[in-house]
Amino acid sequence: MRIMQFQTNFSVGELDPLIRARTDLAQYKNALEEATNVIIQPQGGFKRRDGMKFIYDFGSSFTDFKVIPFEFSVDDSYLLVFVNQRIYVFKAGVLQANINGSGNDYITATDITTAMLDEINYTQAVDTLILCHEDLQTKRLVRNSDTSWTIENLPITNLPQYAYAFDTHMPDFTITPSATTGNITITASGATTDTGTAQAGGSATITLKSSSSYTGDDQPNGMFITLTSGTGSGQTRHVEDYVASTKVLTVYPAWDTAPDNTTGYKVEAFAPAAVGEYAQVTSTFGRARYVEYVSPTVMKAVTEVDFFDTDAVTTGFWESEHGYEDVWSNARGWPRSAAFHEGRLYFGGSKSRPNTIWGSGVINYFDFNAGTGLDDESVEATINTNQLNTIVNLFSGNDFRIFTTGGEFVILQGTNEPITPSTFFVRPQTRLGSKAGIPIEDLNGASIFIQRQGKSINVFQFGDTTASYQVQNISALSSHLLKNPVDMAARRAASTDESDRLFVVNGTDGSMAVYSILVGQNVIAPSRFVTDGEYIAVGVEVADVYVIVKRTINGSNNYMLEKFDPDLTLDSVKSGGAASSVTMNQLQGKTVQIIRDGVLEPSQVVPASPYTITFVSPATSSYQVGLNYTVTARTMPAEPVLSSGSVQGFKKRIIQVDAIVNSTKDMTINGKQVSFRNFGEDVLDSPVEAFTGIKTMHGLLGYSGTGQITISQNVPLEMIVLGLEYRLSVGS
C-alpha cells in the first residue's frame, strides 16, 4: 500500500521520546523526533541555526561565569561578564579599554568570588546595577562612561531590625504615653541616671564606680549604658543584670572592646540605640515601637496596639523588648534577590531571614526606615506557610511577583492602587517552586521560571477565567531536553520572520534547549543546540545573544565569549572582507572550515604560532573561518490516518520526498545528498546559488519499522525547510 503524506509544518519542535506512542495527540503530526542545531520559524518551517562569532578568549584561568546585560540607553548597552573577582565590560562585542584605570580591561571586584556566581542576583535602574548574594554585602555597579565604572557597597540607611535574640526586662521606672494611638511620645520618670569612671570591665561586664547611685539589685536593668570615654568609648548596650554588692553590671550583647578602669560611662533610661525596640504594656493594652530618640527620658514612638489610656504605666506593669539588630550584616547574611517596583527597591530573602521581603521608602530607594507606617515609608512581610519558602527571585509586573523554593506569591494590587504598609500582603498563588540562580524572564507579561529541581520550564501569569495566577508547563512535551538547567535568557522577536526565543543552558552535558515561542498562536517549538564544546552561560543584550562556551584547545579547557550571528554558518568564527589569511589563535589545533566569497574551501588545521590560516584564493568580498556543526532534523515515525487502523507494526519505506525549501544551498535526505549546484562553466569556484522551491529525492531504499525522514547537513551553508511531502509504502 502506498500513501501520500504531507507534513506542512514543524511547529511543535522536538518531541519527548516518552510521547512516542501518543499518535493521537494533535501535536504529533507537526513534531520532530530530533531537532538538533535548527531553529523553528514562526511560519512553521525550520532552518540551520545561526553561527557564532568569536568575541573574546578568557583562556583557562576562570571556570565559572555569570553573564548580565546592562542597558543604559537606546544607544548604550553592555554585556557584563562576571568571573572570580573581576567584571569584564563589553560594548557591541568590544572589550572596553583601561576599564579599571590600571591598564587592564576589567573591573576589580574582589568581594565577588567563584562560589557566588551561580546564585548572584541583580536588578537595574538607569545607570546602576544592584548585585545581591546572601554572602555578599549588597553592591552597586555604576556606569560613568564606556570605560569608567564604579563598584561599591550599596549605601543603605535605616536597615530593618529583627530580634534574633529576643529579650525582655521590666525597667525600674515609669513611662507615660502622650496619646493612646498613632504617633506619640513616651516619657520616662523615676529613672536614676548614673555616670562616672568604671573600676574594671570584662567581655560582657563593667564594674561601676564604688559610689554608684544604684543600691538595689537589678535596679538599672533594661536601661542603657554608653561608654563615653577611655577604652571602648562609643559603645552602647542594654543593661542585662546588676549586682549592687559588687557594682558589677552585665550588658547585652557583649562588648566589641571590653572596658577597663579608664572607661567613662553613662547609664540612662533611653539612648539612640533604643530606636526599633518596643514598650509593651502587660497590665492592660498598649504596644509601641520607638522610632526616634529625643532625650535620655523621651522617645518618639508609633503605636502597634493602642494604649488603654494616657495614664502613667508604673514599674512591673510594662516590659522593654529588645535584642533587635540589623537584619543584614556579615554575621546575619545579606539580601538574596532584588527588584525595583513602583518607586521602591525591594529585597527578597536573606541568609538568616530567607522568607522575608523588604521594600524601601517611595523614591528613597536605599532607605528602609519603617517610620510611623505612612504610605510612602518602607514595607516588610514574611511568608509563613506550612513549608519553607526561601525567596530566590523577585519580578515587577502588573503585580509584584515573588518566586520561592516552595511556591509562587504575589502582592495583589487593585487598579491604580499603590503598595503601602497597610496593603502589603503576600498572597500564595501556586506551589511549584523556582530554582535558585536562574533569572526570571518576561515574555508578553508572563513570567518564565525554571522549576526547583530543574525538571520543567513554567509560565506564571494571571488567568482571567479563574481571576488568579496560574502556572503552565511549557516543556511538558520536551522535558527530555532539560538536563540540570543552570542559566536562561530570553530574546524578544525583532521582526515577523522571528519568534521569541528562550535559551536554557544545561549543566549536565553543555547543550542548550532553545524554545521558539509565539504566545499569541500558542506555539512552543523546542530544539537542541550543540557545539564543539559546552555551553556554560547565556545572556541577551537587547537583540544579541551571547554565550560562554568551553572548548578543548590543546588538551586544556578554554572559555570563550561568542555571539550568535544570522550571517554566519560556523562557530567561533572570525570573519571579514578582502583578505588572504586570518589568525585563528583561539582554535589552535582544531580543524576549521573556510568559506571564502561564498565558496567552501578545503578544511585546515590551525597551526601553532602564528596560528595563520591562508586561503586557497584571496577573499575579495568576504570570508568566515570557524568550526562546523552538524544539523539534524528527523520526522516522527510515520502514522498515516487509515480506516484500517494503526500501522505501527508494519514495515515502511519512504519512496520519494518532495522537500519545500527556501533560500537553501545544501541538504541531505536520509543520507543522500540533494543537488543544488547547476552544471556549466566556472561553477566549481563560484558560490552555490540559493534555491527556493521543491527539491525531489527519488530512489530511497530500505524498509524500516518507522518510515522516517532525516534532513541533515554536514556542509556549513544556508538551509530553510518549509515542509515535506512524501510517498510512504506500507508492507503487511
Backbone φ and ψ for 423, nearest 5 degrees, come out as -115, 10
In the structure grid, which three cell numbers stand for residue 56, read together?
573574546
Domain boundaries, the chain: 2-49+631-730, 163-326, 571-627
Q: Residue 606: which pLDDT band, with cuts at 50, 70 and 90?
A: very high
Give the C-alpha separation, 542 to 79, whole Å.
10
Q: Residue 639: which pLDDT band, with cuts at 50, 70 and 90?
A: confident
Q: Which of 420, 387, 338 is nearest to 132 (CA)?
A: 338
- Over residues 461-519, the pLDDT tens digits come to 988 777 789 999 999 999 999 999 999 999 998 887 789 999 999 999 999 999 999 87
DSSP string, 405-419: SS-EEEE---TTPPP
Instruction: Report the pLDDT value the prediction gives residue 380, as an integer from 0 to 100.
Output: 95
- Over residues 52-97, the pLDDT tens digits come to 999 999 999 999 999 999 999 888 999 999 999 999 999 999 999 8
147-151, 496-500, 536-540: least confident range: 496-500
**Residue 732: pLDDT above 70?**
no
- Over residues 105-122, the pLDDT tens digits come to 999 999 999 999 999 999
Contact 296, 271 (CB under 8 A): yes
Give the C-alpha separation, 710 to 706, whole Å.
12
Compute the average pLDDT of residues 598-602: 94
Burial class (CB in 10 A: 0-12, 13-18, 19+), 200: middle
Instruction: Indicate the length of the chain as a whole number.
Output: 732
**Residue 679: pLDDT above 70?**
no
Measured in whole angstroms, how far is the alpha carbon of residue 156 from the centre of its chain? 22
Compute the average pLDDT of residues 625-640: 94
Q: Which of 473, 500, 502, 499 is nearest to 489 (CA)?
A: 502
Instruction: Report the pLDDT value the prediction gives residue 680, as an integer from 0 to 100.
Output: 53
Burial class (CB in 10 A: 0-12, 13-18, 19+), 366: middle
- Over residues 424-438, the pLDDT tens digits come to 999 999 999 999 999
In the structure grid, which three cell numbers stand for residue 604, read together?
585546515
Name every residue whose Cβ is closer than 8 Å to that of residue 310 and which is 6 or more positions away in sequence.
176, 177, 178, 179, 180
Under DSSP, is residue 40 helix (H, G, I), strand (E, B) or coil? strand
Q: Which three-class secondary structure string do you get for 562-592? A: EEEECCCCCEEEEEECCEEEEECHHHCCCEE
Identify the H or E element spanning 272: none
Instruction: Report the pLDDT value the prediction gives residue 683, as an integer from 0 to 100.
Output: 55
**How many CB atoms lie under 10 A from the CB of residue 253?**
14
Q: Which of 590, 564, 593, 595 is nearest to 579 (CA)?
A: 595
Identify the H or E element spanning 456: none
Instruction: Report the pLDDT value the prediction gives residue 711, as an integer from 0 to 100.
Output: 97
User: Nearest 5°: CA angle at 669, between 667 and 674?
Assistant: 50
Percent of the chain with pLDDT over 70: 99
**How many CB atoms lie under 10 A from the CB of residue 384?**
9
Instruction: Report the pLDDT value the prediction gives residue 100, as an integer from 0 to 100.
Output: 84
Over the range 56-83, which residues count as b (16 or more CB within 10 Å of their CB) and which as e? bbbeeebebbbbbbbebeeeebbbbbbb
Average pLDDT of the chain is 93
Q: Residue 682: which pLDDT band, with cuts at 50, 70 and 90?
A: low
Give the C-alpha separation, 374 to 622, whole Å.
65
Maximum average pLDDT range among 422-426, 576-580, 650-654, 723-727 = 576-580
In the structure grid, which three cell numbers stand for residue 721, read together?
525547510
Under DSSP, is residue 520 helix (H, G, I), strand (E, B) or coil? helix
User: Nearest 5°: CA angle at 279, between 278 and 280?
Assistant: 110
Q: What sign does the CA torsion over 463, 465, 467, 472 have?
A: negative
Backbone φ and ψ for 528, nearest 5 degrees, come out as -125, 130
- Over residues 272-291, the pLDDT tens digits come to 999 989 999 998 889 999 99
- Strands across the sheet with 148-153, in order? 121-125, 128-133, 136-145, 148-153
According to DSSP, the residues that pair with 623 across neighbouring strands are 576, 596
- Strands across the sheet with 318-326, in order? 161-169, 318-326, 278-281, 287-295, 298-305, 183-189, 174-177
